[in-house]
Structures are given as structure tokens and as C-alpha cells.
Structure 1
Amino acid sequence: MTDPYHDPETHVLRNRLGYTDAQALAQAETIVAAGHMAELVVRPIDGRFDFEHLQAIHRALLSDIYSWAGEIRTVATSPGDLGIAHDPPESIAAESERIFREIAEGDYLRGRDHEEFTTGLAEHWGDMTSLHPFLDGNSRTQQVFFDQLSHEAGWGIDWRELSVPALQSARNIAYLDGGTVLADVIGPAVRPADEVPPHALLGGPHREADLTMTEHWQRMLDHLDSDTRTPYTWPGRDAAQHDTDPKTNYDTTTSAREHEERGAALERETQVQREAERVRAAKRLQEIRRNLPPITRPTGPHL
């Protein structure tokens, strides 16, 4: 079967920028997507948190690079060498209908305390990770989607507290445990929305980590095999995160007046931050072309 996505000579994803080197393309994708993510912080895509909303986010992030942005993939994919596979292309339509129907039936995770919200978020995120509807850019797209969904539900994710390897592995192991470990990983980073400014999305997840994704994967498998149901953790995790009780109901520990005052203060701060981000995003997008890695074209018989 002919690969519709990769150039048969360079084996690099066909792209609108003309890159024929995989590493240079990856760098360019990171730069371009980061610029558009900054735009979405300032002007989130108006949607109903359905599949069309997810597609619109994917197009906004990657349509400058790939002609197939926002389109359902037509080839099989898998998350590395973990021994599992994403949903086959022929199952994506039906499975996405189920996932987004469940999100809607759960009232988009509104009205839930910290534990209920984190558990529900992990379940949906795990399902969407297995769905993997697009060939590339799923993680970025899901990050924007669930960040927006969280704020709409009254919660925020402080991405600066999350580790990429742990998050990637936990999202994939949700295929086996339904999102239990993923809830352990993201729980300490979930805060009331008035404590997490929108621009936190641009600050992480951080990539410094003591363990690789593969090491997390093995530790998570061992954790699932254990008899105890203690939260998953790992050496080097920020000790401060362990002080956060995932079962805490923030609405009972902070008065309504304190929430209102804190929310008003954060709203004023956020307006200033949004304007600053708007200016920075415009500058980023103007400089994207200048900062992109140089295009190296093949020589010889390929020309």
C-alpha cells in the first residue's frame, strides 16, 4: 500500500514548508505550533468540545505545515515500542462518537470536586490518546482541548508542574487501566481555575525528568501489578506535589468571598497577561519563518 503521508525518497512527512530532513521538520513544527498555541491562549477556538472542535484546534496548530491537518488518519499507528496500538483508522469515527458523547453526557466535567474532575479528565484523555485521530500533532491538540475544557469546568491544569515522559506514558497506559495512573500524574497539577492563568498552557509540560517514557512505562506496569492502590509516583518528583491531597475539595477549604476576590484579582491580571501574550504571539508569528531551520534539499538523482 502506498504511504500517503511520507515522501517515498526522503521518507519524511510531506509538508508545505519544503523540508526533506526529519529533524529539521520536527524543529520547524515545534516553532510553528508554539506560535499558534500562543494565539489560542489569547483567542481560544469557540466550539462545543466535540470532534469538530478537536479538528479545528488541530488545523489551527498545524495547517501551515501539513495539508492533512484536521483530517482523520488513514494508516495504522502505535505509541512507540510499548506493545499496544492506537485505534485502527476504520474505528476512529465510531469511537470518537462514543468519546465525545460521553464527554457531553457528563456535562463536560462541570460541577465536580477535585477528585471527580481529575478522574473524569483522565478517563477522557486516555480514550482520546488511544483514538489518536490524526497522524501527528495529537498531543499538542489534546493539550489545548483539555486545557480549554478544564477552564470551562472551573478547573485549570498547571502544565508547568507536569513531566512530559510521565504524562506520555500515563496517557498510553490508560489503555490498560482506564486512566487511574494518569489521574495520579495530573492530579497534583489540577487547581481551581482562578488559581491557574490561561498562559500556564505555554509554560509546560516541562521536559526535564529523571526517568524516560520507557522507564515510566515499566514502573507503571509494575505499579498496576502491585496489590496496593497507592498513587503512582517516582523518584525526583517535586516533593511539594505530594503535599497536595488529590481528594481535597477546594470549595470547602476556601470561602466563596475569598474565591470571588481572588478570581477578580486574577481576571485583572489575566487581562494584562492576555494583551501581553497577544503582542508576543504576533511577534512570534512574524519571526517564525526567520527562525525555522534551513531547508536542505537532496542532491543527485532525486532532483
Structure 2
Amino acid sequence: MSRLAVIGTGVIGNGWIARALAQGWDVVAFDPAAGAEARTREAVARAWPSLERLGLAEGADPERLAFADSLEAAVANADLVQENVPERLDLKREILAALDAAAPAGVIIGSSTSGFKPSDLQRDCTREPGRIVVAHPFNPVYLLPLVELVGGEATTADHLARAEARYRELAMRPLVVRREIEGHIADRLMEALWREALHLVNDGVATTEEIDAAVVYGCGLRWSLMGTFLTFHLAGGEQGMRHMLEQFGPALKLPWTKLEAPELTDTLIDRVVEGCEHQAAGRSIDALESRRDEFLVRLLALVEEYWPESEGLEGRL
């Protein structure tokens, strides 16, 4: 029976907990914040209907969650450790060093960091620094299967292979990043779009709702199946990517996009906040999350239909 230790139970930590429970794992969590256990159990209860629709593994049960009274107790018998403390490098180094000292030998310790490089995270670990890897998921973790795995200077191919195997047991789709870089892969892509979206709002070109509509009804639909490169490959017609680059490549030199984010002035902040509140139309965050999860469950079924394991795609992602 597999056991996941989760250190830090915010949105991401609770997402890992719900996913592991749905896959039939035991979970032991540790978070010193007041009321953490109650908030986690509420989060699991909210996620469970979507996980039931997606399909539960044998033995899946929210009651297989326990809270430990110390970090050391949480990891004592873990098969995988997931760190989710706030995104502060000094704090993560401190916690990861403690986890490295306490976790059973050979157990992979994944950090959910969205930006830090694993070599920086491993710096204070003296026992098995190579087992500290970036294991960056996407919200909601209990539904979205991508996890970016990144090794640091001390990480070997064996460490990454064992990490990949463990996260596949959680029904994740591991993407092993070839070399460490701040922000990994997916967040760097999302940040580029986010910066451009902020410029469009700041310059009065579009509202938040109009920008979201451009993604939802345009590129976002194609990206769900093909991503960026294969989408542009089709844009080249019968000659594919080569023709697309020959025809549209020169436009990349035009000043269409802005690499730096705009200054977050009070005016820009107000525009973005007011736009999002208009889009939310009075719906609570819980209501919006439920709507998102229902959509994702249905979309994931369609994605799996078009990316079947039987076609040999498993292993590439």
C-alpha cells in the first residue's frame, strides 16, 4: 500500500491529498497552521464528487487521510513526499533539508515550486540531496494530470526515473524537463500570455472578458488537443511547419508583443479586478471552482479519447 506525505496544506497541498486518496493511497499530512486539518477535509469533500465522476481507484477513501503532529512523524513511513510550503526560497530550503534528514532512505521528495530551480532547493540537504526534485503540478491538482519533474545538480537519472514511476502511480502525466530553468516550462509559457494580456488591458485594447473569450473560443480549443507547435504545423497547409515559418516567420520580428510586464499601477489593478468581478457575476469562488471541475472532467475524457495509451503515446508524456 502506497503512502504519500504532504507537507503544507494550502490549495496545492490539498490538491495532492485529494488526488492521492482518489488513487487509493494512504496520506499523512502536516501543517502547523491553526485549522489546517478541518480546511483540508473540507477541500477533499468538495473535490470528491468530481473525482468520483473521473473514476476512483480500488480502495479510494477520504478516511485514509491522517494528520501528523510533526514533520518527522508525517514522513516516517512515506513512499513519496510532497512539499508545498509558501514560495520563499529560504523557507523551502529549511523544510527540504529537514525532510531529507527525516524521510526514509531512497524516498523521492518532490517540491511543488512553480519557479525555483532544484539545485537551489537541494543546497542545504546533506543526506541525499539528489532525491530532492521539482514536481510542479497544476491547479486543480486532483484533476489536471501534468507534473513537471526537474532534477538538480545532485540528481541522477535513477532519481528521475523513480520519481517518474511514483507520479505515474498517482495517475499523473510526468514531463521530465531536460535542464533546470526558473519557471520550468508551462509557467514560462503562461507568464508570456499573462504579460501580454495585462498590456492589452492596460492599453485599453480589450477587457478581461474579451481576452478570456479570445482564448476560450480560439487558441484554447486547439491547444487542448495539439498544443502550440502542432497547431502552427497545420497552419502551413500541406507543407506544414516549414511553409508556415517561411510565410509567417518574418512577422515574429514585428513589435506585436511586449516581453516585459506593464507596471502594476492602481489603475491597471482596478481594471483587472473589476473585469474579473464582472465576469464572476456574483458567483462565489466555490461555485466557479465547481463549474471549472465539471468542465475539466468532461474535457479530460475527450482528451484521453484522442490521446489513447494504446497508440504508444504513453511514455512520451
TM-score normalised by length of structure 2:
0.31
Structure having the higher strand fraction is 2
TM-score normalised by length of structure 1:
0.33
Structure having the higher helix fraction is 1
